[in-house]
Amino acid sequence: MTTTPENPATELPGRPPIVDQATWQAARDELLVREKAHTRAGDALAAARRRLPMVELDGTVEVIGPDGPVPFLELFQGRPELVVYQHMWHDGAPHQGQCEGCTTTAWHLQDASYLNARGVSFAILTEGRWAEVAAFVEFMGYTQPWYSVRGLAGPVGGEMGYLVCFLRVGDRVFRTYSCTARGNETVNSALGLLDLTPYGRGEKWEDNPEGWPEGGHSCWSWRTDADGNATWGPTGRPVPQWTRPGASPVETLGRQGHCH
């Protein structure tokens, strides 16, 4: 029996209407036109980014890594371009007390092979004391290089939570682009996949049909307890941390607010 929107008795409340294949394909083709326009608009924005001016900075300024102080220029690893993520930090907080948003972003940047193949290096910068940062990196199992920029001003240091792009010309270094907040979503492939699903991210701000599950606050699912229940309480920690050996439900110290 074919079920259609004109036969409401067979509909499933809180779920997409059930239709035949031809009706679904027609609706899909109609949406595809809008998706292609969205893609072309994104291409135009990328073209505009490539035409932004740039600002020169001191490439000799030193950051702290596993081998001690190194000039910022070394983060390029000999390549012409560099992308960094500036990870927020809470001094003295245990691993589960660090920013869940930044933890999630860094988790999605475990491998830079394709960036490297295109002549782009990648690194994570943070304002934490190196001893604390090193312990966090080891616990999380991050594979990309981390550095402390404690005490440094922008654009290398300063306000965190940004993706920043740099260009190297010989020994000269230039900042070409930066973004923050939802601009960082380009890194988080999980959000992109959730946007394809019927229930999306499950957040209140989303435009959903009537009868859909009520959404939570932004990023509600990024911190959970040991059983996978979303919580910002004392047993919660950033989701990727539960995959780490030795992770256990202990009291969270440090940041308690929601991500931005």
Tens-binned pLDDT, residue by residue, of the chain (260 aa): 344 455 655 688 999 999 999 999 999 999 999 999 999 999 999 999 999 999 999 999 999 999 999 999 999 999 999 999 999 999 999 999 999 999 999 999 999 999 999 999 999 999 999 999 999 999 999 999 999 999 999 899 999 999 999 999 999 999 999 999 999 999 999 999 999 999 999 999 999 999 999 999 999 999 999 899 999 888 889 999 998 887 776 655 444 444 54
Q: Which two tokens stand for residue 129?
A: 């004391």
Contact status, residue 84 vs residue 154, Cβ threshold 8 Å: no
Q: Could you tell me the maximum CA-CA distance found in the chain, to the nearest angstrom?
A: 71
Nearest C-alpha neighbor of 95 from the set 227, 256, 241, 223: 241
What does the pLDDT read at residue 258?
A: 46
Tell me if the pTM is above 0.85. yes
Place of tokens 């036109």: 33
DSSP structural state of residue 215: P
Kind of pairing between the strands at 172-180 and 162-169: antiparallel
What does the pLDDT read at residue 11?
A: 80
For the chain, the helix, strand and coil percentages under 3-state DSSP, each to the nearest 5: 30, 20, 50
Domain limits of the chain? 55-186
What does the pLDDT read at residue 246?
A: 76
What does the pLDDT read at residue 175?
A: 98
CA distances to 100, 192, 203, 206 from 215, in Å = 19, 17, 4, 8
Number of residues in the chain: 260
CA angle 167, 151, 219 (to 5 degrees): 75
Place of tokens 């907040």: 181
Pick the CATH number of 55-186 from 3.40.30.10, 3.30.390.50, 3.10.100.10, 3.90.1310.10: 3.40.30.10
Instruction: Please list, in sequence order, all residues whose beta carbon lies within 8 angstroms of the beta carbon of residue 251, skipping any fewer than 6 positions away.
Output: 234, 235
User: Which H or E run contains 3?
Assistant: none
Half-sphere exposure of 202 (CA within 13 A, CB side): 10
What does the pLDDT read at residue 247?
A: 78
